[in-house]
Structure 1
Amino acid sequence: MAKKPNSTNKKERHILALSGGKDSAALAVYLRDRYPKLNLEYVFTDSGCELPETYEFLRRIRAVLDIDIKVIKSERDFDWWLKYYKGVLPAPQQRWCTRDLKLKPFEKYIGNDIAYSYVAIRADERNREGYVPKQGRNIIPTHPFVEAGIALKDVIDILNKCELGTPGYYGWRKRSGCYFCFYQSDNEWKALRKYHPKLFKKACWYEENHSDGRIYTWRGKKAGKPLFLRELEEFLPSGEGSCFEECNHKTLPQICRKINIEGFDEESFLK
């Protein structure tokens, strides 16, 4: 692995931040096998809003690899930060959740030490933007999978060979992250409601409860849907997402006609 010379007298550390996903888990296996003498620190930055499957997968990683995982947390929780940002929910253009619940605690944990941060970006996703430290240059990202040409197929092979497997949420979700992640697709929101109804209800609560009466959604103004439309989504046959999008700008009677709700009588409704 490429390594920059340390021209200071600062302590050098080697850190792998586990996300609770398959790629960082495979990187942990890869580094353990290739560099057994590397004094590697394994950390997990806990937002406090993770999926149960994430915690279960971390327990498996600990057991299978026989490693210690340092859990890092922000001194303030999501609800505190939400109030700080005046109820504005995080969004792709305003990812304060990642910044304040993930990155800042990670940087605080490292402090002023020279830290080689091992990032699990694969060779087949070179264009993916990884972690870029905002404070100083003491955190040095390194990409072992890119350097070794390891792609998705190789990651799956690594996990299967060590019998670690993949996180349980991959059965219904594409990525790790908070249960209310704004990058979730409509199908993933539906799956959250199915597999974790209490978490789905809590995510809805965050949309509904604002002291000043404003409404924010996890999907934003353009892609966001009022909560009553999400409830109607269960009436949609699989694969009719475009029909659902059309309903976003229709009146309730139009919506009911569009999705053919049984027993709906427009004349009675309009009386």
Structure 2
Amino acid sequence: MPKAEPRHILSLSGGKDSAALAIHMRGRIPGMEYIFNDTGKELPETYDYLDRIQDYLGCAVVRLNADQSFDHWYDVYGGMIPSNHRRWCTKMLKLKPFEAYVGDEPVMNYVGLRADEDRSGYISHKPNITPVYPFREEGLRLADIERILRDSGVGMPPYTSWGRTRSGCFFCFYQQKVEWLNLKERHPDLYEKAKEYERPYEGSGNTFTWSDGESLVELERPERAEAIRKEAARRKAAKAEARADLTLAQVYAQRLMDLEGDADDEACVICTV
């Protein structure tokens, strides 16, 4: 019996790299499927960006939804907000829907990791899924990704215009503290919704928070918000001053950090690439 031809699937996250990969791969693989794992908790700008990408591709981006919502799993986990130590959101809202969509057929899954990134992508335990990294294979780096997005007219994700450094849910725990303040300023309704999840955990009475070490109520207090913004401005100024003495390679590395934020290097790749 002849071996089945693999399906070709490109996973979009709403971020710049996967968007550039979709543009870069357009027309190169017949029958390419474009998918997006929709948690139902994305930024409005992410949905707008997906529409922009879809218009450029000229074909549908399939939006995968988990069988159960974030709120369902939040209750199942006893009101424990996900964190870098307990990433149940990635497992239940991203990985499981993706693997269910793939099924047991052989699949080539295209991932937008660049040649200048020192991290690994999503690796499924399912033997029928083979990851493919075109940017790494072709040696494409950040400057190439920016060029692809610029030349296509799709551009950078719109949320970057107000200081958000990564895609993902509006309450993503990998946000920097100043990004939480930017969310409050840009989308006060979403900030208020995020605050509603910070309630005492039934098992211990402890309150889990999105931002490490303090609640969103504490973070938004005027004196605390001012201190966070001053520190963010200080760090930005220090980086700008340091650039004057950097080599070209060091400047490039600094630009990577500026674009991708200072969050944990182990951030959920399937959500952000």
Give the TM-score band, short-chain normalised: 0.7 to 0.9
SS at match of 1:123: coil
1:160 aligns with 2:150: yes
Partner of 1:170: 160
1:18 aligns with 2:7: no
Report the TM-score when normalising by structure 1: 0.80
SS at match of 1:240: helix
Amino acid at match of 1:167: P
SS at match of 1:159: helix
Change (3 A) 1:109 1:26: same
Q: What is the aligned-residue RMSD (CA, Å)?
A: 2.1
Change (3 A) 1:198 1:211: farther
Change (3 A) 1:75 1:237: closer
Change (3 A) 1:61 1:228: closer
Partner of 2:80: 88
Alpha-carbon distance, 1:67 to partner: 1.6
SS at match of 1:72: strand
Report the TM-score when normalising by structure 2: 0.79
Q: Equivalent of 1:203, from 189, 194, 197?
A: 194
Partner of 1:252: none
| Cα separation, 1, equivalents of 2:228 and 2:9 | 46
1:229 aligns with 2:218: yes
Matches within 5 A, 1:260-271: none
Unaligned runs of at least 5 residues, structure 2 = 235-273
Alpha-carbon distance, 1:183 to partner: 0.5
1:148 aligns with 2:138: yes
2:178–2:228 Cα contact (<8 Å) kept? no
Change (3 A) 1:140 1:207: same
How many correspondences in the alignment? Answer: 230
Alpha-carbon distance, 1:238 to partner: 3.3
| Cα separation, 2, equivalents of 1:207 and 1:131 | 29
Partner of 1:266: none
| Cα separation, 1, equivalents of 2:14 and 2:216 | 29
| Cα separation, 1, equivalents of 2:66 and 2:158 | 26
SS at match of 2:229: coil
2:39–2:70 Cα contact (<8 Å) kept? yes
SS at match of 1:86: coil
1:179 aligns with 2:173: no
| Cα separation, 1, equivalents of 2:32 and 2:169 | 26
Partner of 1:254: none
Partner of 2:267: none
| Cα separation, 1, equivalents of 2:47 and 2:36 | 10
Pick 1 or 2: higher relative contact order, CA cutoff 8 A, min separation 6.
2
The structure with the largest alpha-carbon Rg is 1
Amino acid at match of 1:229: E
Unaligned runs of at least 5 residues, structure 1 = 1-6, 244-271
Amino acid at match of 1:85: Y
Partner of 1:132: 123
